[in-house]
Amino acid sequence: MAEQDRRPTAVHGVIIHATEPEHLTILEDALLAVDANGTIISLEAGVSRQDVAPKLAALGLDLDNCRLVELCPGQFLIPGFVDTHNHAPQWMHRGLGQGMHILEWLSSTAFPNEARYEDLEHAGAAYSALVDGMLRQGVTTASYYGSLHGEATQVLADICLDKGQRALVGKCNMNRGSPDYYRDASVEDSVRVTRDCIHHIRRIDPSGSMIRPVLTPRFAISCEPKLLAELGTMAAEHPDMAIQTHFNESEQEVRGTRALFPDFSSEADLYHHYRLLGPRTILAHCTIMTPYEIRRLRDLGCGVAHCPTANMTVGGGFMAAPIREFMRQGITVGLGTDSGGGYSSSMLNAMRHALIASFARDFMDAKDGSGALSLEEVFYMATGGGARVVGFGDSVGDFVPGKQLDALLVDMRESRGGVNAPLQAGDSLRIMFEKFIMTGDDRNIVQVVVRGKVVLDRT
C-alpha cells in the first residue's frame, strides 16, 4: 500500500467500529471498499475470500484496478483516534511538573517552554516531532492549541497538512495572567494575529477537509473582557469555525476566574455572555460542574473534551469529571490527551484512564455502578464521539459508507510485541479487541490511514 498509490482500496478481514456509544460492532470476514478519493463505498460482513472479487465487481471495482488488503489472523481495522484537546507546544515537556496545581504548573513549566516557539526553527522541529508522534499513536485527527505566536501556529498547520493529519489549529489568545515575556502585546495584536492565522489556514486548505482554524481563548483567566468580546465577534463572523477553551478545570482555576469576573456566578454564563458557547464549542476538562452548568452545556449544544490523564495528575487533586451525567443529558463527549498536562500522548491510555476516573466518580456519587463507563463507551469517545466534538463527525469516526477512511491497522501477533496480554488459541474477536485496548500500545498500530492514504506504515 504505497503512499502515492491512489487507486480504490478494498480491505478484507476483521473490522471493528462503533456508531453509537453503547454498541461495538465487530465484523468478521468483512469487506470494506473505498474509492480513489478515500470515501467509503461499502461495508459488508460475512464475505468469503472467493466472493471478494464478485462483490467488488458489483461495486464497479475489480482486482486489476483496486488494492486489496487481506488482514491476517490477529489483525483488525478500527477507526483512527481523535484527540479533542492537545497543547501542541507542550509536546517537548509533557510529563514535567506532575502533581502541581494548575496555575503554578503553567507559570513554572508550561509558559517558559511555550515561549520558545517564538523561534521558528524550534517550532518547526518540535511540531514535526509532535505530528509524527501523534500519528504513531494512531491519532488521525487532533484539536491543537498553538502557542500565542502566529507564525509558529501557521507552521503547525503547514506540518499537519504536509504529514497528512487532520487538525483544528488555533493561535492561543492570552493577554493577561501570564509573564510579560509570554503574553499578547494587546487586544488588537491578539486579534490581528488570530485573523492572520485563520486566513493562512483557509488558504492552504480552502475546503477545510483536512485543516481548519479554531478560535482559542486559552481560558478566561488569560483574557481581558475586551479580548473575549472581540473573539465573540469573530466567532459570529465565522459561523462555521470551531471554538475551544478550558472550562471548570480545577478548584484553583474556578476561584481565579470568579475573582476576575465577579459579575458571573458560573463559567457557563461568562462564556455565553461573550458569545463563545454553542454547537461549535469544545470545552476541555469540565471536572467541577453544577447541575445548572450541565444543563446549559446541553441546551447550547457544546461538546466536552474529557482529559482523564491530566485531570488525575495536574491541577491539584484527582478530578473525575461527571461523564456519565453528561451522556445522560445528551452532551457529546470526546477524549483528549492534553499533552503537557497529561503526561501520555496515548489515546489508549486516555481510554483506560477514562474508565478508572469513571469508577472513582461512581464511588463518589452513587456507588451502584451507574456512573461507571464501559469499554464500548470509551472507545466511542476516542473515535466517533471525538469526531463529533471537533466538528468532523460527518466525515470520519466510523466506517459508515459515505464517510472518509481514517483507520488504524492493528496487529496483535506476538512478533509485534506491545500487548501485555498475548493472544491465545480460542480467543474470541471481542477478547482480541479488549486485549489491545487494555494492554496494547503503539507497537501494535502498524499502519495509519487518513482519507484512504497511508500516512504511516510499519507493516
- For the segment 379-421, what is each residue's pLDDT rounded down to a tens digit? 999 999 999 999 999 999 999 999 999 999 999 999 998 889 9
What pLDDT does residue 4 have? Answer: 52
What pLDDT does residue 5 have? Answer: 63
What pLDDT does residue 3 have? Answer: 44
The whole-model pTM stands at 0.96
Task: Tell me how crowded residue 182 is: count the other CB atoms within 10 A of its CB.
Answer: 22
What pLDDT does residue 2 have? Answer: 36
Using only C-alpha atoms, the chain has a radius of gyration, in whole angstroms, of 22
Cβ atoms 403, 395 nearer than 8 A: yes
Cβ atoms 123, 117 nearer than 8 A: yes
Cβ atoms 406, 34 nearer than 8 A: no
What pLDDT does residue 339 have? Answer: 80
List, for residues 285-328, the tens digit of each pLDDT value.
999 999 999 999 999 999 999 999 998 887 666 788 999 999 99
What pLDDT does residue 62 have? Answer: 87
For residue 4, what is the DSSP state?
Answer: T
Q: Report residue 287 as a C-alpha cell.
A: 471536572
Q: Where are the alpha helices (DSSP H) in 60-110?
A: 102-105
Residue 379 CB burial class (10 angstroms; 0-12, 13-18, ≥19): buried
Q: Which stretches in the chain have pLDDT values below 70?
A: 1-5, 315-317
What pLDDT does residue 70 have? Answer: 97
Average per-residue pLDDT in the chain? 94
Residue ranges of domains in the chain, CATH in brackets: 9-79+397-457 (2.30.40.10), 81-390 (3.20.20.140)
For residue 50, what is the DSSP state?
Answer: G
> CB-hemisphere CA count at 13 Å for 250?
23
